[in-house]
Amino acid sequence: MKNENRSKNWRICIYGKPGIGKTSTIKCLKGKTFVFDLDNSSKVLAGEDIDVGMLDRTKPIEEMSGFVKNDLPEITKKYENLVIDNVSSLQRDWFVERGRSTKSGINNELQDYSAWTNYFTRLISAIYQSDLNILVTAWERQREVTSETGQSFTQFVPDIRDNVINGFMGLTDIVARMIVNPKTEERGFILEGNNAIYAKNRLDKRTACKADELFEFEVESPE
């Protein structure tokens, strides 16, 4: 059974390889949806229940500021769902823009990395405060992690710098890695993490699901 109480004001992040089908998952959202396209890959989604806004990638800092200040309040009034499509692309464009203001005009300076931490934390907090269901997509990367016992292992995570990823993931209800079954070519999500994959689900008890069932939350069984 579906849990209607869990279908209001959730925060979900999905991540995976470029081209694996993350953007297509947006079509499974129920209700009117606004997609803020950060990497110019969502035009095909526009339709009856999905509107798409495009980021000007030549000035991402100015564009994101205007989105939060001017557009987000109006989006909250008109839509049930907000999608921030590809924060990994935003991260790259942000550093490119900051690099233009350095002496070299290319390379980033040390203070840019701490500035990104403050910027992204404020940005995602402002977006998450909205009275909307919010889906964030990202590419994936691998990072080296050391456990409390000193064991090192390689883990798949959303492609966001380590200095912001823990805070971002802490604010997010579901973090899901998208994979493709090599035998059936069916797409799905891993919802329970381990040493090799960062994932979590605090909305229900599912540990995995098909791609088109991600937003169909389970009802807890009565005791």
Mean pLDDT computed over 133-162: 93
Give the span between the Cα atoms of 165 and 141, in whole angstroms. 12
Q: Which residues pair with 82 in a beta bridge?
A: 34, 134
From 163, 157, 164, select the one nearest 196 (Cα to Cα).
157
Mean pLDDT computed over 3-30: 86
* Cβ–Cβ under 8 Å, residues 104 and 153: no
Mean pLDDT of the chain: 91
Q: List the single range of 9-23, 42-56, 79-93, 206-220 with lowest mean pLDDT.
A: 42-56
Mean pLDDT computed over 197-213: 96
Architecture of domain 4-213 in this structure: 3-Layer(aba) Sandwich (3.40)
Q: Which positions ≥6 away from 189 have C-beta within 8 Å? A: 14, 176, 177, 178, 179, 199, 208, 209, 210, 211, 214
Cα 27 to Cα 56, 91, 104, 118, 212: the distances in Å are 23, 25, 43, 32, 9
Share of the chain above pLDDT 70, in %: 95
The confidence score (pLDDT) of residue 221 equals: 55
Instruction: Give the pLDDT band (50/70/90) at residue 47.
Output: confident
Give the global pTM: 0.91
- Most confident range (mean pLDDT) of 2-11, 38-47, 101-110, 115-124 is 115-124
The confidence score (pLDDT) of residue 3 equals: 47
